[in-house]
Amino acid sequence: MATLELVSSGPIYRNPNPGYVHVTALFSHLVSLGGAELLCTYNRGQGMYATDLTFWQCRSHDGGLSWGEHELITDRTQDDRPYSYHSPFLTRLRNGELVIVAFRVDRSDPEWPIFNEKTGGLTALEVILQRSYNNGASWGEPEVIDIPADLVITPSTSIIELADGRWFLPYDQWHAFDDPGPYQPRTLGFYSADRGQSWSDPVWFADGAASGKGFWHGRVTSLTDQRLFALFWSADMANGMAPLPLHRCFGSPDGARWTEPEATNIPGQTNNVVDLGGGRLAAVYTTREANQPGFRACLSEDWGLTWDLANQIQLWDATGRERLGVDAPEAYPRSHDTIAYGAPTATLLPNGDILFSFWCTEMSITHIRYALCRVQP
């Protein structure tokens, strides 16, 4: 069986001047621009839910080994009110257009929390797009996506360009700020036939309510045979959100039909997958329950049902640096305020190597890193 080899790792962005300013970097998303050039979008601000969060980008010209040209994407000074901008999922479309999908929150009251500590509900927000037609040399202004009023949702992955040219955008479902719940995580997707100008025809998938399961943060990817695929962070909702193994799910090429999620053997949370061809997949995932927490990468030879955990590799060891601060809350949603690593991504490079990225914390600096891996036969 093939194995993964860690070739190189290092920072994509890390605050170079921590004695003068506190800067947190999170939620990196990478695309290949062809050859050895890559573009990375990410969040920069004072913290994961900080009022000053906005979008930045940087570039690599050597296949991800070094990064520079850090530039502001979203200029908050042009907004009509103070917004914070969150999780810039990046897509490069077949015509070369770059599209960010994300969400923003009105922070006119800087003390208003993102999540309700009592109910776990999510505050009001806007889902947005930003576009670039010149490989990120310039970006358009944020465009607000119209979301049905009865839905509380955030993008769960980048836009998928389907074979027929339509766009498919998956979302995570939450509950409203003052809604007592209970929280039932599930996912849905909307279609756009006019390149993001309008969205319609919602499709629900990975809905485990009938079986007492919850599924969220599935990073949907398009396979080489045009089917859609995702691994989902999964939980037993009837047992206090007890962790379950990652579940896999397949969608038809048009995203209209989905299989029921089924358990894999990965004991993880947030994750990302790339298709290596012939039924072989590579995954990166977050682990918090293991003796050696952090990020791990592994391979599957059967479309993601079973994974070679015996030969998986550790990309980042978070032992002793799992949390921020001294008194880290244990109960959701406050427990998320102090997590010190998360949200891994995976990008298949033109030469067949895999570039993983994630955010993590070292020496009190939360930053984004890469790990370049190669598949060995």
Q: What is the pLDDT of residue 334?
A: 84
Residue 337: helix, strand or coil by DSSP?
A: helix
Mean pLDDT across the chain, nearest whole number? Answer: 97
Percent of the chain scored above 90 by pLDDT? Answer: 94
Q: How far apart are CA 247 and CA 229, in angstroms?
A: 11
Q: Running DSSP on this structure, what letter comes out for residue 46?
A: S
How many CA atoms lie within 13 Å of 261's alpha carbon, on the beta-carbon side? Answer: 30
14 Cβ contact list (under 8 Å, min separation 6) = 25, 365, 367, 368
Q: How confident is the model at residue 73 (pLDDT cuts 50, 70, 90)?
A: very high
Q: Identify the domain containing residue 236 by its residue range.
A: 3-376
pLDDT digits (tens, 9 = 90+) for 27-36: 999 999 999 9
Percent pLDDT > 70 in the chain is 100
Q: Residue 125 maps to which CATH number?
A: 2.120.10.10
Give the chain's domain count.
Answer: 1
Q: What is the mean pLDDT of residues 75-91?
A: 97
